[in-house]
Amino acid sequence: MNKARHILAIDQGTTSTRCMVFDAQARPLSVAQREFPQHYPKSGWVEHDAEDIWRDVLHTAREAVDRAGLDASAIAAIGIANQRETVIVWDRADGKPVYRAIVWQDRRTSEQCVRLRADGAEEEVRERTGLLLDPYFSATKLAWILDTVEGAREKAEQGRLAFGTIDSFLLWRLTGGAVHATDITNAARTLLYNIRDQRWDEDLLKLFRIPAALLPEVQDNNHLFGYTDKSLFGLPIPIAGMAGDQQAALIGQGCFAPRSAKCTYGTGGFLLMNTGADCHISANRLLTTPAYRLDGRIHYALEGSIFVAGAAVKWLRDGLSVISTAADTGAMAAGLSDNHGVYMVPAFVGLGAPRWDAEARGVICGLTLDTTAAHLARAALEAVAYQTLDLVSTMASDGAEFPALLRVDGGMANNDWLCQFLADMLQVAVERPANLETTVRGAAFLAGLTTGLWEDLPALSKLTAESRLFHPQMEAAHRDRLIDGWQDAQRRTSSIPGSIPGSIPG
Ligand SMILES: Nc1ncnc2c1ncn2[C@@H]1O[C@H](COP(=O)(O)OP(=O)(O)O)[C@@H](O)[C@H]1O
Ligand SMILES: O=P(O)(O)OC[C@H](O)CO
């Protein structure tokens, strides 16, 4: 019997890198995780050192295999999920990045986006990419590197540099510089990829002034991307699945049917609903994005992005020091009979979908002398549910009827109080899997599909783990009153004169 029946899955996230080993029943055997430094060189700028990321991926991958009590020969394949949109440009000669990774949260190219919008480019960009002209996406960041790093544009035109999102950079490093490729879910977040024709778009390359010679080849999510360089694990291991982390979570949650949906609550919150073969461009500023492409068959998703979810809880802990641990917020919120009119709109880095207002700033309102830390904790949790409700309502006005069940995951989904409040606000059942690591599981699913460990999507659905359901139970009048208060608070978030542009809660 071939003993290589385990999958090593990598989740390279915004604040940490996690690796897990799964067995042939998709049971997690081990986990290894490392946080890495965030760099904020200027207000609104966010950078990662790509070498930190590479070092941590290698370290956690080896540690996860060790902790599973295995050696590398037991690993049938590697799957990768990654923070999306983050840009790395490296030299093809030595694999060294020419600048730090510019992270998805970075707002330095806001002005370029405003200019392109003023030039009337948005409609065309939207039709072709399903995205908006916002600094969140890769293209303007990539152009910034080419225009700022001395000699970079010239070298790029000569084909001496490579561009990639994190998946692509890791693939390059893992294969010892042999493979420059990405998958469709990551390509589709660059603003350079035409999601209808499924190809890099020459007109968009011209619009953003990006030389085609920089670009990776785009593959299905279940694809044999290449083999690890022998020096890394002692033998070559196939890298057989890749996806952006939010799409990987959709896959890990088993959302394969059209209209199935998941929301991942980590630093931010990302709601994705599978829309099947329908490439539905939202009329309400939601994103249209490939959910996955397996064996050449594409499924699309509608996506709503909340920029600040768990980051607000982290800010209460690290910035204001009014809570000791993120988990405390659950008991603090549950200890109050009501929010007593205290609301937080965590527009710390502007607002994502559906408003996409880069200039909006955060608001806490309804404060009285009776307000306590518990009210702030509750307000931070409530805000996550209200923002999700806004996304769900937007999907409904887009003609995409929301399902009767929302699957949740991510670190913040550990919070029972939040899950119940979410069910109450959305008026749908909220399902939380026992294992919240759905992103890394999705990456494992892809690698296992490619290498034949699992046959097809129905086989993956059968591997579904235990879960807990939260059903709506709040009275309608109470719910309506809470939502009215949120809408009032949200109206107060327009740009505040003198505010710091786009500072990121660390
Ligand atoms: N029990 C909890 N209640 C509320 N927030 C939580 C809880 N546990 C973790 N968080 C928040 O979730 C985030 C971590 O989730 P994680 O999925 O690890 O994030 P990411 O992958 O974006 O780094 C942190 O911002 C933290 O504040
Ligand atoms: O790394 P995460 O989990 O915060 O996810 C980041 C998203 O991919 C950004 O689009």
Q: What are the pocket residues of ligand 2 if the criterion is a CB atom closer than 6 Å to any ligand atom?
A: 13-14, 83-85, 104, 244-246, 266-268
Share of the chain above pLDDT 90, in %: 83
CB count in 10 Å sphere of residue 327: 12
Residue 320 lies in a domain: yes
User: Each residue of 140-189: pLDDT tens digit?
Assistant: 999 999 999 999 999 999 999 999 999 999 999 999 999 999 999 999 99
Q: Give the model's confidence band at 447: pLDDT under 50 very low, under 70 low, under 90 confident, else very high.
A: very high
Residue 360's domain comprises: 310-391+488-493
Q: Which ligand is nearest to the CA of 82?
A: 2
- CATH number for position 337: 3.30.420.40
Q: What is the mean pLDDT of residues 358-368?
A: 89
What does residue 479 show for φ and ψ, rounded to 5 degrees? Answer: -60, -45
**Above 80 in pLDDT, residue 503?**
no
First to last CA, the chain: 49
User: Within its chain, how far is the Cα of 250 from the centroid?
Assistant: 11
Residue 137 sits at the vertex; the CA angle it makes with 132 and 139, to the nearest 5 degrees, is: 100
User: Each residue of 402-443: pLDDT tens digit?
Assistant: 888 999 999 999 999 999 999 999 999 999 998 888 999 999
Residue 216 lies in a domain: no
Number of folded domains that form the chain: 1
User: Each residue of 47-61: pLDDT tens digit?
Assistant: 999 999 999 999 999
Q: Which residue has the tokens 């990006």?
A: 210
Contacts of 9 (CB under 8 A, 6+ apart): 19, 20, 21, 22, 78, 79, 80, 81, 440, 441, 443, 444, 447
Residue 209 lies in a domain: no
Residue 329 lies in a domain: yes
Query: What is the whole-number distance in angstroms between the Cα of residue 27 and the centre of ligand 2?
Result: 24
Average pLDDT, the chain: 93
Evaluate whether 183 touches 245 at the Cβ level (below 8 Å): no
Q: Give the model's confidence band at 495: pLDDT under 50 very low, under 70 low, under 90 confident, else very high.
A: low
Residue 297 identity: R
User: Each residue of 29-49: pLDDT tens digit?
Assistant: 999 999 999 999 998 899 999
Share of the chain above pLDDT 70, in %: 97
User: Each residue of 200-220: pLDDT tens digit?
Assistant: 999 999 999 999 999 999 999
Query: What is the whole-number distance in angstroms between the Cα of residue 439 and the centre of ligand 1?
Result: 14
User: Each residue of 106-138: pLDDT tens digit?
Assistant: 989 999 999 999 999 999 999 999 999 999 999
| pTM for the structure as a whole | 0.93
- Asked whether the ipTM of the predicted complex exceeds the cut of 0.90, the reply is yes
DSSP letter for 317, please.
I
Which ligand 2 atom sits closest to the C-alpha of 264?
Answer: 3
Residue 216 and residue 212: Cα distance in Å, rounded? 9
Residue 102 lies in a domain: no
Q: If DSSP codes are grouped into helix, strand and coil, which group holds residue 439?
A: helix
Q: Could you give the C-alpha distances from 386 to 183, 209, 247, 302, in angstroms and in order?
A: 33, 39, 23, 18
Q: Which ligand is nearest to the CA of 188?
A: 2
pLDDT recorded at residue 506: 43
Q: Which ligand is nearest to the CA of 16?
A: 1
Which ligand 1 atom sits closest to the C-alpha of 313?
Answer: 27
Instruction: Lowest mean pLDDT of 249-253, 455-459, 475-479, name the range.
Output: 455-459
pLDDT recorded at residue 505: 46
Query: What is the whole-number distance in angstroms between the Cα of residue 502 and the centre of ligand 1?
Result: 21
Q: What is the mean pLDDT of residues 465-476?
A: 92
Residue 431 lies in a domain: no
Q: Give the model's confidence band at 493: pLDDT under 50 very low, under 70 low, under 90 confident, else very high.
A: confident
Contacts of 244 (CB under 8 A, 6+ apart): 81, 82, 84, 165, 167, 183, 185, 186, 189
Residue 343 lies in a domain: yes
Q: Give the model's confidence band at 2: pLDDT under 50 very low, under 70 low, under 90 confident, else very high.
A: low
Query: What is the whole-number distance in angstroms between the Cα of residue 378 and the centre of ligand 2?
Result: 24
Q: Which of 18, 46, 186, 245 most suits a substitution to test ligand 2, by most atoms within 8 Å of the C-beta? A: 245
pLDDT recorded at residue 329: 97
